[in-house]
Amino acid sequence: MDKAQRASAIEAAYELLGTPRSHLRVKLEQTEDAVLLHYREQTLTGVQLDESGINAASAMAVALGVNVPAAGETSEVLASTGLLHRVLAISDLDFGNPASFELANVLVNEAIDMQRSSRGRNEATPMDLGELESGQAFGPYVIEISQPDADAYIAATGDSEKLHDFSGNTHPLQLDAYVLSRLIAEIGIVENRIETVHAGQQMTVHRQATPGEMIIANSTLKSCSNRRGSIWAIFETTFVDEAGRRVAESSSTIIMMP
């Protein structure tokens, strides 16, 4: 991809990012002579593998939170539109100019901050319950439920009279169950052997999700209180589709007894 092709691709990419959406699943690909960033069938930007391009590709990968893929391979990542704006700007820098390194460093650091705020905590590191604070954000969680899994969940509910209501769709409570399982993993309930009760749940559904559809969930700890030695936590979750359109919201109460 030469400079003119990159400029054209970036212009089209900015048009794409201008539409209402929160995150995009993108792929970083290394070909024989270039590193390209794709969204579905659209190439958002790319750099040639010359000295300047190699520096740009490395900075783009760090900003996305992935490694530069080997030749013929791709790295896939879910990125916010704000983060992608930084990646596009990095790809368009002339790394033959020393001043570009300083600007790239600023853009990469901004992208890293966005990664930390949007991805939440590393699941491999259980939290100390004392770290829980009201307003704390968790996610985003990417949910893609297959048709067999959706059918199995609906069948397992045992309410055969209502099965037709969700035929061909994903049961909304299955989305919430997925998020709760991720929250439990992040908080470290299993690793810390904490007795837990799922004490309450409310859900508002705007439209049915379909199997195979990518749903993105973001959770917030609305309140966290200590009652007679037990921790009562209320998590609010918003579910949106790939274009950022709202699918559902939920509120779940979890009681943890350390």
**How do residues 79-98 score in pLDDT, each as one tens digit?**
888 889 999 999 999 888 88
End-to-end CA distance of the chain: 56
* Residues in CB range of 77: below 8 A, 6 or more apart: 25, 26, 27, 28, 64, 65, 66
d(CA 82, CA 199): 36
Note the pTM of the prediction, 2 decimals: 0.53
Q: Based on C-alpha coordinates, what's the Rg of the chain?
A: 21
Phi then psi dihedrals of residue 153, to 5 deg: -65, -45
> Which segments of the chain have a pLDDT < 70?
19-22, 117-131, 157-167, 188-199, 258
Report pLDDT for 236. 93
Q: What is the pLDDT of residue 120?
A: 47
What pLDDT is recorded for position 119?
A: 52
Nearest to 178 by CA among 145, 211, 212: 145
User: Could you give the CA distance from residue 67 to residue 115 in angstroms, rounded to a whole number?
Assistant: 14
Q: Is the peptide bond before 126 cis (omega within 30 degrees of 0)?
A: no
CA angle in degrees (0–180, nearest 5) for 92-96-98: 100
Q: Is 237 helix (H, G, I), strand (E, B) or coil?
A: strand
What pLDDT score does 122 carry? 39
Chain centroid offset of residue 147 CA: 22
pLDDT given at position 124: 40
Distance CA 140, CA 39 (A): 18
pLDDT in tens, 223-254: 888 777 778 888 999 999 888 889 999 998 88
Inter-residue contact 220 to 141 (CB < 8 Å)? no
Length of the chain: 258
The contacts of residue 104 (CB under 8 Å, 6+ apart) are: 55, 56, 59, 90, 93, 95
pLDDT for 88:
94
The token pair at 90 is: 């990095």
Output the pLDDT for position 121: 40
Handedness of CA 49, 110, 124, 253 (dihedral sign): negative
Decide: 26 and 74 in contact? Cβ < 8 Å.
no
C-alpha–C-alpha distance, residues 46 and 57, integer Å: 8
Amino acid, single-letter form, for residue 188: G
Show the domains of the chain with their CATH numbers.
3-119 (no CATH), 129-257 (3.10.129.10)
